[in-house]
Amino acid sequence: MTELELTIESENLVAKLAGVQIFTYVIDTSHVPAQDTPKPYFHPVRTLSGEVVTDFAPEDHPWHHGITVAFPRVNDHNLWGGGTYLGPDSGYVVQSDHGEIKHHKWLTINAAAGTFSHELGWYGQNNELLLTETRSWKVNAINHGGNKGWQLELHTSFRNELATDISLETPQQRGRADGGYGGLFFRMSADFTDFNLFVNGDPSRGSGDEGHDLVIQAQTSEGEEATIAMEYQNGIPVERQKWLYRVTPFPLAGFAVAYDEGLVIPVGESFAFSHRIGVLDGILDSESVIAALNSEV
């Protein structure tokens, strides 16, 4: 991984691969309004050809910040941003229940290994520490059949810091149809069009599909093609491996680990999982792109 560069610029981490700035990982979120839940995020994220694949704070959802890890409800706290879904009758209501996901300290930054990790705290609306998270990332270059790109692996663990159980819930549990978002989330560039989506290699039937991997084929308004792959790794049972996505009126996709049912982290315990995202130039079918994710160069 000698061609990968990881540097700290103005507190944030910048990654360059083969001379291309593929992402900035922003941990200084002092510019984010409290209502949008400040949280570390990746933006801009680029393909190796330089195409930006993320969006940040779009007008329709200003709390959508590139690639993030967040959750709509952590007990009675909003750790997502925007309004809180109160039910089918009231819908989303903006309340004073927003918390913040704060970077505490870097643990490792190793460009030779392609890894970086840090400790974070998930704080509630009264600045109460709810969860301590240890979040590790790994970056690999990939090349499959001449289609070049890179992948980002997430390995994370959340420790309950309260004297009571912690519930992680989504609007789906409160009656919001197709509202099971929460976890690793990808707000894609508004420049993307002409989507094709596949779950486990078959055309997706709709948001909420269950499967190990989601492959998204798209192109920009200028005709540049890209393929994005999202793949479950460890820690999430098969029956919870679901996907939430939209392609209109704006594109987004997320690992929906609590799509149908919430999660509980008992007192004194932790919850850990691993995910992977691949960003490739060109259009690849599902079999090829999953093979590419395993072709580290």
Q: How many CB atoms lie within 10 A of CB 281?
A: 18
DSSP code, position 174: G
Q: How many CB atoms lie within 10 A of CB 242?
A: 22
Q: Over pLDDT 90: what percentage of the chain? A: 91
Listed as ranges, residues in the chain with pLDDT below 50 are: 1-2
pLDDT value for 1: 43
Q: What CATH architecture applies to the domain 4-292?
A: Distorted Sandwich (2.70)
pLDDT value for 147: 77
Which residues contact residue 281 at a Cβ distance below 8 angstroms, ignoring those fewer than 6 apart?
Answer: 47, 48, 49, 51, 147, 148, 149, 225, 226, 227
Closest CA to 144 of 212, 195, 200, 215: 215
Q: How far apart are CA 227 and CA 92, in angstroms?
A: 33
pLDDT value for 290: 85
In three state form, how does the secondary structure of the chain look?
A: CCCEEEEEECCEEEEEECCEEEEEEECCCCCCCHHHCCCCEEEEEECCCCCECECECCCCCCCCECEEEEEEEECCEEECCCCEECCCCCCEECCCCECEEEEEEEEEEECCCCEEEEEEEEECCCCCEEEEEEEEEEEEEEEECCEEEEEEEEEEEEEECCCCCEEEECHHHHCCCCCCCCEEEEEECCCEEEEEEEECCEECCCCCCECCEEEEEEEECCCCEEEEEEEECCCCCHHHCEEEEECCCCCEEEECCCCCCCEEECCCCEEEEEEEEEEEECCCCHHHHHHHCCCEC
Q: pLDDT per residue over 48-62, tens digit each?
A: 999 999 999 999 999
Which amino acid is residue 8, in one-letter code? I
pLDDT value for 296: 60
pLDDT value for 144: 75
Q: pLDDT per residue over 209-235, tens digit each?
A: 999 999 999 998 888 899 999 999 999
pLDDT value for 88: 95
Q: What is the mean pLDDT of the chain?
A: 95
Match 């992680």 to its residue by tokens. Answer: 168
pLDDT value for 143: 83
- What residue segments make up the domains of the chain, in order of their start? 4-292
